[in-house]
Amino acid sequence: MAWVGTGAVWTLSSGVLKGSPLGQMPRAAMMSHGDGALRFVQISDSHIGFNKPANTDVTATLRAAIAKIKAEPEAPAFVLHTGDLTHLSKPAEFDTLQQVLSELSVPIFYVPGEHDVLEDDGKSYLERFGKGTSGAGWHSFDRGGVHFIGLVNVVNLKAGGLGTLGDEQLEWLEKDVRRLTSSTPIVVFAHIPLWSVYPEWGWGTDDSERALSYVKRFGSVSVLNGHIHQVMQKVEGHVTFHTAMSTAFPQPAPGAAASPGPMKVADDRLRKVLGLSRMSFHAVNHPIAITDLPLEAETPAAGAHDVVVDNFSFSPAKASVSAGTTITWTNRDDVPHTIVSAEQKFRSPVLDTDEQFSHRFDVPGTYQYFCGMHPKMTGQIVVG
Is residue 276 domain-shared with residue 355, that is, in the same domain? no
Is residue 309 domain-shared with residue 290, that is, in the same domain? no
Is residue 167 domain-shared with residue 250, that is, in the same domain? yes
Is residue 287 in some structural domain?
A: yes
Is residue 127 domain-shared with residue 182, that is, in the same domain? yes
Is residue 284 in some structural domain?
A: yes
Alpha carbon of 184 to those of 59, 220, 229: distances in Å?
37, 7, 29
Is it true that the peptide bond before 316 is cis, omega within 30 degrees of 0? yes
Question: Which residue range is the domain that position 348 belongs to?
Answer: 305-383
d(CA 128, CA 118): 15
C-alpha R_g of the chain: 21
Is residue 299 in some structural domain?
A: no
Task: Identify the domain boundary among 294, 315, 346.
Answer: 294
* Torsion angles phi and psi, residue 255, rounded to 5: 80, 0
Is residue 223 in some structural domain?
A: yes
DSSP codes of every residue in 44-97:
----BT--STT-S-HHHHHHHHHHHHHTSSS--SEEEE-S--BSS--HHHHHHH
The reported pLDDT for the residue numbered 121 is 87
Is residue 263 domain-shared with residue 320, that is, in the same domain? no
**At 198, is the secondary structure helix, strand, or coil?**
strand
The reported pLDDT for the residue numbered 365 is 92
Is residue 277 domain-shared with residue 251, that is, in the same domain? yes
Is residue 139 in some structural domain?
A: yes
Is residue 290 domain-shared with residue 359, that is, in the same domain? no
Is residue 175 domain-shared with residue 312, that is, in the same domain? no
The reported pLDDT for the residue numbered 292 is 43
What count of other Cβ atoms lies within 10 Å of the Cβ of residue 144? Answer: 14
Is residue 128 in some structural domain?
A: yes
Is residue 269 in some structural domain?
A: yes
Task: Identify the domain boundary among 237, 272, 294.
Answer: 294
- What is the domain count for the chain? 2
Is residue 186 domain-shared with residue 330, that is, in the same domain? no
CATH code of 367's domain: 2.60.40.420
Is residue 242 domain-shared with residue 133, that is, in the same domain? yes
CB-side exposure of 130: number of CA atoms within 13 Å?
Answer: 19
What is the chain's pLDDT, residue by residue, as a tens digit (384 residues)?
223 345 555 555 545 555 555 554 444 443 344 445 677 888 999 999 999 999 999 998 898 888 888 877 778 889 999 999 999 999 999 999 999 999 999 999 999 999 999 988 899 999 999 999 999 999 999 988 889 999 999 999 998 899 999 999 999 999 999 999 999 989 999 999 999 999 999 999 999 999 999 999 998 898 999 999 987 878 788 888 888 889 899 999 888 899 999 999 777 766 666 544 343 334 444 443 434 444 455 555 545 688 999 888 999 999 998 888 889 999 988 888 999 999 888 888 888 888 888 888 888 999 999 998 899 999 999 998
d(CA 68, CA 275): 13
Task: Identify the domain boundary among 294, 320, 351.
Answer: 294
Is residue 321 domain-shared with residue 194, that is, in the same domain? no
To the nearest 10 degrees (0 to 180), the angle between helices 58-70 and 91-101 is: 20
CATH code of 78's domain: 3.60.21.10
Is residue 329 in some structural domain?
A: yes
Contact 227, 244 (CB under 8 A): no
**In this predicted model, what pLDDT tens digit does every residue of 312-339 receive, in sequence order?**
899 999 999 888 888 999 998 888 899 9
Is residue 258 domain-shared with residue 188, that is, in the same domain? yes
